[in-house]
A and B are shown apart, each in its own frame.
Chain A
Amino acid sequence: MGLLTDPRAGTGKLIKLMLKWEKPLCFILYVGGIIWLMLLALPAFNDNTYFSENALLPGLVTKESNLEQTSKQYYHELIHEMKRYPDSMPYAWLSAKFSQLHLDVFVHNFSLIYPFQEQKFVGQNIYGIVRAPRASSTEAIVVSVPYRPINSIYLDTTPSVALLLAFAKFCRKQKYWAKDIIFLVTEHEQLGMQAWLDAYHGVTSGQEGILIAGDLSGRAGSIQAAINLEFHAMKITSIDVKIEGLNGQLPNLDLFNLAQNMIAKEGIRQSFQRRFDVNYRDKLKSWEYHFNTLMSMVVTQATGIPTGNHGLFHRFGIEAITLEGFQKSGRETEANFYQVGRVVESIVRSLNNLLERFHQSYFFYLLPSTDRYISIGLYMRPLVLIIAGVFIKAFSIWQRLQTSNNEKKNKIEEFDIGSVASEVLWAHIFGVLIMASPRFFALIGSRMFHLRTEDSLYASFALITIFTLLRRFYLRRSIKYENISLVCVIASIELATALMCIAMHNFSLALLTAIVYVPVILLITPHHKSASRLRSCQYIAWIILHPFIASAMVVMGYTYFNFPTDSVVSLLLRGYRANKQALVFSIVDSMIYGNWFYNVTTAVMLPIWLLFWNVMRSSAEVPS
């Protein structure tokens, strides 16, 4: 009780010290958080991966498969078939092949009604099921391949389809399966996969009436795990394991370990984020290499876009990874499909051993290399340090208000709660309205100005940005110091809370947002009079951090990164086009897949930005 109610806690030494050193303390926390984050790539700050789930029994079975010849045969047949359908999937051939293997073969039709133009696209997935001889179809494993026609812009996956068929042929003859195995060939990349998963579980993940998944005529049991294959050639040099899923969700670390171990066991080079494990003698160099791998993962995860078809499984509580194999480019040793087939076989047989769903190992982790990991307990601390600064800032502003109130005494009621509440409320309503309105914008654009969807969306979002920027420029107001401070406190706390919640779902996004936003926010204080040089710098910084402007800049940077040789003008043009596409993609992604990046940006970050903008632009009355 003494601890709870000791009044010294209110105006004690600690608080006084904190109030006095607020600014330096916040910055020390920020810098400390970033340094800690960088240290995470050091071996002392992370751990070796290990198998937590004993039921997997990795690599304990005698592998029996030899898929080299069969897959070669399938490959040549398929190449021949594909030339006849350069734009679509050879459905008949695929289902005939599955049927020849005596699998339960089903075709799944789905359609997409493109949200802005009332256009309809259709597609088909084909899947065959090997029924488990030793169980009653209550559990299943999925092996999938995204089918890509010859004219596709993506890297070829024909060899993986051949491998899938060969592996299905192998599985059919074995009698030790305790789980059904679903062999799935999907069309239209992630759309097909999303539609199939929606149909399998009988749900709609995105908005109703956009991706129409229909129903499946055949099912196996509840899916325990999934392996997605993307091998680009019949002879590969290395296998990359991709894990980042929708909204930054990750599969269980055990599955990742399993894949990495099995690949290593077959003597194939394994990589993560397309970076091989390199051992430098020099500690600094080694740290730098691992840190770059780590950051590469953070950046990929932060976008919330799945790196492969595996990413869509995670939302259903299914652990999934993609194995991507690359064609020979230099003078590396090659692995043929005999080895690759054995990798797949051993992974699937390990999964077959599972007694219950993956639950043992970590679901929240970061990886600096293929064999080391940073668990949530380790990586949360730097983020909490960074965010703690914002809390401390809010607390000290609040505390100052309290003490000044106590000193004045004559007026207890300092806040105009009504006006503050309405300001906060309106900012949020504005955000939610923008979140809900892309369809409306597209409609107006196409009806009134005959613009394309991209253009009308881009124009309306540009207008919104300008409007939000300008509103305060000429609407400079002066309100009571206490009210501005209260708004500042509310916005800070909201930001901190939102970042912590985002961190639970997508740590990387929260981390990058915090790193960018926190230092500027620490500088924003409700002020009595304006005009100083620092203030104008702050304005510029805060304008750059406008969610839309910031994302546009990121896309620009990305364009520059990808096309560094272009001239400035063509870069700008490219960036402009990329921006338009990125905007449409993020909106459409949120509608089809339920990617919440766009929703969070408009409904959470934008209101917070607006509140701080109000704080910056309003100057307080001089207290009389």
Chain B
Amino acid sequence: MSRKWLSNFALAGTIRLLLMNSEYQKTIGNRVEVSTALNSWKRVTEGVYLYEFGIDPYEGDLFHETPIGLYVFKLIQKYLPQWALFLLFVVTDLTTALCLAFTAKRYAIELATKRKEGKEDNRKSSDTPDTSALYVSAGYLFNPYIILNCVGLTTTVFTNLLYSIALVSMMRRSIFWSCMSIALLTLQGLYPVSLMVPATIHIASAAKNRRTNYFYIVTMIIIFTSVLTALFIISYNIMGSWSFLRNTLGFILTVPDLRPNIGLYWYFFTEMFEHFRWLFIASFQINVSLLYIVPLALRLRRDPMLLAFSYLAIAAIFKSYPCIGDVGFYISLLPLWKHLFQHMQQGFIVGCFLLFCTVFAPTVWHQWIYSRSANANFYFGVTLAFAIAQIFLLTDILFASVKHEFAVKHGINKKVNGNEAKLLLE
């Protein structure tokens, strides 16, 4: 078993390093699907350069990392040679995979205990916690989206590490670390603030009685806000002004950069009359950040991990500057729900669609930008299809979990009066 683990990690590391040192690195790094305005390494380099010259990088429209990120990247660019930089990205990615593996193991153990407590489901489960962890880590290590993301040297690699730390600390019920990682993520990307909901639910679920329950919730909120405030103050101290707010959080919220990416904003807001811009920005942002939080939290309160997964997926689909690194992250979590696969309906079609869009997007991009025989509509069509496929995937998983719950409650036997019965949601 450990040999398998080791070989997986070694192979994944080698693939990444080989690709990074090949001629394709530049092409991959420049792809719009990989690098967006928020995470491109080119922009980081520019920002650090400006910063070292004593120019506020947030004055222009170039740099959108956080001041803390700026400080860290400055150190990285200053002291690390090229090969060490590559190595840093690869090691970060591998660490993320490891964290995800821990998360998966914990989650599988939790599921198993839940099953035992329930005792309704007497089936002997074939997947042990270890295999689940192996699948999740392999899903992350060999996920083409993640590999491209890492080879393209995007800062999403570090964001993903923070995500995985948030998940693992949520599973381990570590209050400080989940608050810390989620606060860092919020500072950087705003949308991950929703992860506080599943984290709080999961940590509070360990409470023995109502009072400790409230105690946990209040502590979480207090720690989170104080950490976030501290981070803002540190950022302010680094920069000496609040100008960074407009170019980090403001940049995410108001979507001024309409360079094409795999998201849905760019095309929509290029076509939009200026008059309606604010209305639609508000509705788009409400859609991604507020709309689903409460209903999903109510429905999935017993399964915070699934809740976190759906928040991640929703953010990756609808956020203002998504990249394939975000998509790859939640897709690699899919093996956690292996027990739901038998209830899923559109797995095949969704898979085909994702593959098709992934291959088709660069094709039509080439025709639009280089040979000028196609136009923006082609590319937008592909990204739209990509988003739809992801939405199908998410709804499919959620519905499968509902069906699974039903099956656990009423027994797995699908026979009613001797006939094969179907589960319908009408």
Contacts and interface: CB of A to CB of B under 8 A. Distances in A.
Nearest to B420: A11
A493 B424 contact: no
Given A364-B373, A497-B355, A504 B367 contact: yes
Interface residues of B, number: 33
B348 A500 contact: no
A501 B365 CA distance: 12
A505 B367 contact: yes
B377 interface: no
Interface in B363-380: 363-364, 367, 370-375
Nearest to A425: B142
Contact of A500 (B356, B395, B399, B403): B356
Interface string A300-329: 000000000000001101000000000000
A281 interface: no
A501 B359 contact: yes
Contact of A7 (B348, B372, B424): B424
A406 B342 CA distance: 8
B422 A8 contact: yes
Interface string A485-508: 000000001000110110011000
Given A8-B422, A505-B363, A505-B367, A497 B356 contact: yes
A256 to B, nearest CB: 14
A1 interface: yes
A317 B348 CA distance: 38
B269 interface: no
Contacts of A363: 373-374
B363 A501 contact: yes
A395 B352 CA distance: 10
A403 to B, nearest CB: 11
Q: Most chain-A CB neighbours within 10 Å: which of B142, B399, B403? A: B399
A315 B370 contact: yes
B6 interface: no
B356 A5 contact: no
Contacts of A421: 142
Interface string A404-415: 011000011100
Contacts of B392: 4
A5 B371 contact: no
Interface residues of A, number: 36
Contact of B372 (A8, A317, A395, A411): A317
B423 interface: yes
Interface in A399-443: 399, 405-406, 411-413, 421
Contacts of A314: 371, 373
Q: Most chain-B CB neighbours within 10 Å: which of A7, A8, A398, A500? A: A7
A2 interface: yes
A493 B399 contact: no
Contacts of B422: 7-8, 11
A9 B392 CA distance: 13
Contacts of B360: 497, 500-501, 504
A357 B375 CA distance: 13
A10 interface: yes
Contacts of A2: 425-426
B352 A493 contact: yes
A501 B360 CA distance: 6
B370 A317 contact: yes
A501 B142 CA distance: 24
Interface of A: 1-2, 4-11, 249-250, 314-315, 317, 357, 359, 363-364, 391, 395, 398-399, 405-406, 411-413, 421, 493, 497-498, 500-501, 504-505
9 contacts: A4-B399, A6-B424, A9-B345, A249-B371, A315-B370, A359-B372, A412-B126, A413-B126, A504-B360
